[in-house]
Amino acid sequence: MFFRRKGRLRKEYDEKLLAQLNRYKIHWQQEKQLLERSFDPSEEVICQTKIAEAKYIFLLREAKQRNVTVFK
């Protein structure tokens, strides 16, 4: 009885994790492109890019630790 709920909750949170991972990947790529296109990037832009990368890497490691796979 409780194990079915655990599996359903795990699946639900894995889906949320994948959605969030995709959002942060897109955000990081946009920040990276902005940094590459600017002639003289400010410290704020550089810091925002590093923060976006760190968030994406953290979520990527979390997904790997939880053995989350994408089924298409």
* Model pLDDT, residue 30: 94
16 φ/ψ sector (left φ>0, alpha ψ -120 to 50, else beta): alpha
- pLDDT of 67 > 60? The answer is yes
Tell me the average pLDDT across 41-51: 92
Contact 7, 35 (CB under 8 A): no
CA angle 14, 17, 18 (to 5 degrees): 90
* Model pLDDT, residue 2: 58
Taking only the tens place, the pLDDT of each residue in 1-31 is 556 677 788 888 989 999 999 999 999 999 9
Instruction: Provide the residue ranges of all domains of the chain, joining segments of one domain with +.
Output: 11-65
